[in-house]
Amino acid sequence: MNTTARVIQSTGSWYRIMKEDRTVLDARLPGKFRMKDIKETNPIAVGDIVNFSVNDDGTAVIDEIKERQNKITRRATHGRKGEHVLVANVDQGFVVQSVNEPKLRTGFIDRFLVTAEAFSVDPLVIVNKIDLGREEDAEEIAHVMDLYESLGYGILLTSIYDDASIEELRNIMKEKTSVFIGPSGVGKTSLLNSIEPGIDRPIGEISKFSNKGKHTTTFAELIPLSFGGFLADTPGIREFGLIHFEAWEISLFFPEMKDVQQECRYYNCTHIHEPGCAVMEAYKDGHIAASRYDSYINMVESLEDEQKSTGSRKRG
């Protein structure tokens, strides 16, 4: 007999799956799924909906992986090819940055927003640790808020010491499947502990040498929330690589470029060096923020470098 469940934890060889009544089972994935011609490094991800059958010993076997509504991915690491699916079937994704310790990086935010736009995930920007903000940070925070709000993105300032911000975040997450994405050290685990008291996850320290966080979450997990919904807790990632894009397509996921680029002379304009580029004109006229245009160029160049590298390996 097949039953439907959701994958809530992935540790490599074993998975934990949760039925609608919140019963949890340990499950294995048959080798036939791993042998398929897939581009992902992980054939099944946290958030996947599966059909399963139960063994005599009470463990489960995953018989079918349902088609995904959406996914959030990053480029495979450690020299592997393809993509790594961080989480599947989410309603909203929160890109988390901190005011300080470590320093806020708008480039990371922009890469996540492009991925969220491409895979139909509703994004929200969280600027955490506002209690660590110094007087000189106020102007930057205001600029970041104005920038992303003007582009139509929601942005929330949070601190575990600010009950109102935690309650607002809890209300946004209620009855939805959400995911925190951000580098180590920005306070994702602290936010989780505040949102769901009693979980008491260990919190890492900031390296004094690099001013970057140390990993505390080592594998992805989908955590059921007492007030309804789920939160996908993912390992901290330093770089958010783009997958399945052509360089000229990236501008389609920048709201401030999407309409303007229709006036470019060339349909596949990269908006970096071509004559008659309406996007470059908009940037020069101050209608596109410098940080956003810089992020765009970095994304295009990193994709082109990756494609050249892949082409060299194939020829070799």
Question: Following DSSP, what letter does each residue of 71-107 receive, concatenated?
Answer: EEEEE--TT--SEEEEEES-SEEEEEEESTTTTP-HH
For residue 233, the surrounding DSSP H or E stretch is strand 229-233
Question: Which residues, 6+ apart, have CB-to-CB distance to 133 below 8 Å?
Answer: 99, 100, 141
Residue 158 to residue 130: CA distance in whole angstroms: 6
Taking domain 73-233, whether its CATH number is 3.10.20.30 is answered by no
Q: What's this model's pTM, rounded to 2 decimal places? A: 0.85
Q: For residue 193, what are its two tokens?
A: 């502990």
First to last CA, the chain: 50
pLDDT digits (tens, 9 = 90+) for 189-246: 899 999 998 776 666 544 333 344 444 444 678 999 999 999 998 776 655 667 677 8
Q: Which residue has the tokens 């922009």?
A: 110
Give dist(CA 260, CA 244) in Å, integer. Answer: 23
The CA distance from 225 to 161, in Å, is 20
For residue 69, the tally of other CB atoms under 10 A from its CB is: 15
Identify the top-confidence range among 239-243, 245-249, 266-270, 284-288.
Answer: 284-288
Quick one: which H or E segment has residue 240? none
Q: Tokens 């799956």 label which residue?
A: 17
- Residues 290-303, mean pLDDT to the nearest whole number: 94
**pLDDT tens digits for 29-39?**
887 665 454 55
* Residue ranges of the chain assigned to CATH 2.40.50.140: 3-67
The confidence score (pLDDT) of residue 76 equals 64
Residues 187/169, Cβ–Cβ less than 8 Å: no
Coil vs helix vs strand at 53: strand
CATH fold for the domain made of 3-67 = OB fold (Dihydrolipoamide Acetyltransferase, E2P) (2.40.50)
Helix, strand, coil share of the chain (percent; to 5): 35, 25, 45
CATH architecture of the domain with residue range 247-315? Orthogonal Bundle (1.10)
CB atoms within 10 A of CB 154: 14
What is residue 89's DSSP assignment?
S
The confidence score (pLDDT) of residue 176 equals: 96
Residues of the chain with CATH 1.10.40.50: 247-315
Rounded to whole angstroms, how far apart are CA atoms 158 and 132?
A: 11
Tens digit of pLDDT for each residue in 138-159?
999 999 999 999 999 999 999 9
